C-alpha cells in the first residue's frame, strides 16, 4: 500500500471517529426526543387541557385550517406537558419556539411528545407545513407564568 493511501485512510478514520463522537455528544447534550405515534382514537381529537397534578398537564391539540385549538395555553413554571396532536383536515406542522418540539399533525393520526417548561415566558406555536392560503395566520401560544404563591 502506498504511504499516501495509508495517510488518507488514517485521516479518514480519525475524522470518522470525531464525527461519531460529535453526534453522540449532541444527542446526549440536547436530549433530542422523537414523538410517539399513538393508535387513532376519536377521544384525542377533542381539544382540551387536563391537569393531572400540580405540575403535570395533558394538552390535546387539534390542528385545522387555519388555527390550533386551544390557541392559548396557560401553564405554571416547571410544568411538564404531554402534547397530543391531531389534524382535522390536512397535514399541518407543529413547532414550539425555543423548546425543540417539532411534530406533524396528520389526519387520522395522533402524535405525542412531552416537554417541560422551566422558564417563564411566551412560547409561540407555529405551523411549519404549508396548509393553504391562510397558513401564515396559523399560530397559538403557551404562556408560562410564575407559580402561584402559597
pLDDT of residue 117: 93
36-145, what's its fold?
Immunoglobulin-like (2.60.40)
Residue-wise pLDDT tens digits, 42-91: 888 889 999 999 889 999 999 998 899 999 999 999 999 999 999 989 99
8 A C-beta contact, residue 72 and residue 141: yes
- Place 147 in a pLDDT band, splitting at 50, 70 and 90: low
User: What does pLDDT average to over the chain?
Assistant: 89
* Per-residue confidence (pLDDT) for residue 148, from 0 to 100: 56
DSSP per residue over 67-109, as a string?
Answer: EEESSEEEEETTEEEEEEEEESSS-EEEEETTTTEEEEE-BT-
Cα gap 129→100, rounded to integer Å: 16
pLDDT of residue 28: 74
Identify which of 114, 131, 144 has the alpha carbon closest to the alpha carbon of residue 68.
Answer: 131
Domain ranges of the chain: 1-32, 36-145
Amino acid at each position: 500500500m502506498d504511504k499516501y493511501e495509508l495517510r488518507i485512510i488514517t485521516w479518514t478514520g480519525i475524522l470518522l471517529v470525531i464525527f461519531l463522537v460529535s453526534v453522540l455528544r449532541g444527542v446526549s447534550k440536547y436530549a433530542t426526543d422523537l414523538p410517539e405515534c399513538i393508535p387513532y382514537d376519536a377521544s384525542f381529537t377533542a381539544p382540551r387541557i387536563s391537569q393531572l397534578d400540580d405540575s403535570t398537564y395533558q394538552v390535546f391539540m387539534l390542528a385545522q385550517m387555519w388555527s390550533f385549538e386551544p390557541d392559548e395555553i396557560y401553564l405554571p413554571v416547571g410544568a411538564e406537558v404531554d402534547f397530543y396532536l391531531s389534524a382535522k383536515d390536512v397535514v399541518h406542522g407543529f413547532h414550539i419556539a425555543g423548546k425543540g418540539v417539532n411534530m406533524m399533525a396528520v389526519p387520522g393520526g395522533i402524535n405525542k411528545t412531552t416537554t417541560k417548561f422551566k422558564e417563564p415566558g411566551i412560547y409561540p406555536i407555529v405551523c411549519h407545513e404549508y396548509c393553504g392560503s391562510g397558513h401564515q395566520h396559523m399560530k397559538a401560544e403557551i404562556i408560562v407564568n410564575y407559580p402561584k404563591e402559597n
